[in-house]
Amino acid sequence: MTGTTRSSAGLDARRRRILYRSWHRGTREMDLLMGRFADACIGELSEEDVAAFELLIEVEDPDLYGWLGGAPPAPEFDTPLFHRFRQFHLSGEGVPEI
């Protein structure tokens, strides 16, 4: 997979920026985790969730990996959006069909 499978057409500038940044984090593994979630959910996020996602994008990859692996997130990131992001991947929803 080379990046987003979702068109940014119809998204406001803030959501387009999140979509791009989700696929360009720095490590390919986190690009896939954040990018697939953004592809699937960016259009339906509330403004509160968009703000939480913008903050989550700034988290360093090792911290985010730890939180996804079960370590408790820092309190400021322990949000409904983070739990939705984590559940998206734990449920297998974020894994493409082969």
Q: Rounded to the nearest 5 degrees, what angle is found at the Cα of 75, between the Cα atoms of 87 and 25?
A: 60
Total domains in the chain come to 1
In a domain, residue 6? The reply is no
Q: Is residue 45 within 8 Å of 81, Cβ to Cβ?
A: yes
- The 10s digit of each residue's pLDDT in 75-90 is 999 999 999 999 998 8
Distances (CA, A) of 53 to 1, 97, 98: 22, 25, 28
Q: Is residue 76 within 8 Å of 55, Cβ to Cβ?
A: yes
- CA-CA distance, 92 to 39, in Å (whole number)? 15
In a domain, residue 55? The reply is yes
In a domain, residue 96? The reply is no
Q: Is residue 23 within 8 Å of 5, Cβ to Cβ?
A: no
- The 10s digit of each residue's pLDDT in 47-58 is 999 999 999 999
Distance of CA 79 to the CA centre of its chain: 13
In a domain, residue 79? The reply is yes
Domain that holds residue 61: 13-90
pLDDT given for residue 35 in this prediction? 93
In a domain, residue 7? The reply is no
Residue 40 belongs to a domain with what CATH number? 1.10.150.250
In a domain, residue 4? The reply is no
Instruction: State the pTM of this model.
Output: 0.85
